[in-house]
Amino acid sequence: MGKEKTHINIVVIGHVDSGKSTSTGHLIYKCGGIDKRTIEKFEKEAAEVRACIFI
């Protein structure tokens, strides 16, 4: 049988443009929820539309 992962629900609140999505995305990445290759793909796509918002 495969290894099961524990699912958790998190609520992030804050003012508009306070970095909620950026912080949450970074947290998911640091915890291993998104691999480096996927992040690199997103960075490339963002650069193509001149919306470089990744840290």
pLDDT of residue 35: 87
Full DSSP string of 36-49 = HHHHHHHHHHHHHT
- Whether residue 54 has pLDDT greater than 80: no
What is the spatial distance between Cα 53 and Cα 55, in angstroms, rounded to a whole number? Answer: 7
What is the spatial distance between Cα 53 and Cα 24, in angstroms, rounded to a whole number? Answer: 13
What is the spatial distance between Cα 12 and Cα 43, in angstroms, rounded to a whole number? Answer: 23
Which of the 8 DSSP states describes residue 2? P
Q: For the chain, what are the domain ranges?
A: 13-55
pLDDT of residue 50: 67
7-53 pLDDT per residue, tens: 889 899 999 999 999 899 889 889 888 888 998 998 888 888 765 55
Any idea which residue has 């640091």 for tokens? 30
pLDDT of residue 4: 84
Q: What is the pTM of this model?
A: 0.60
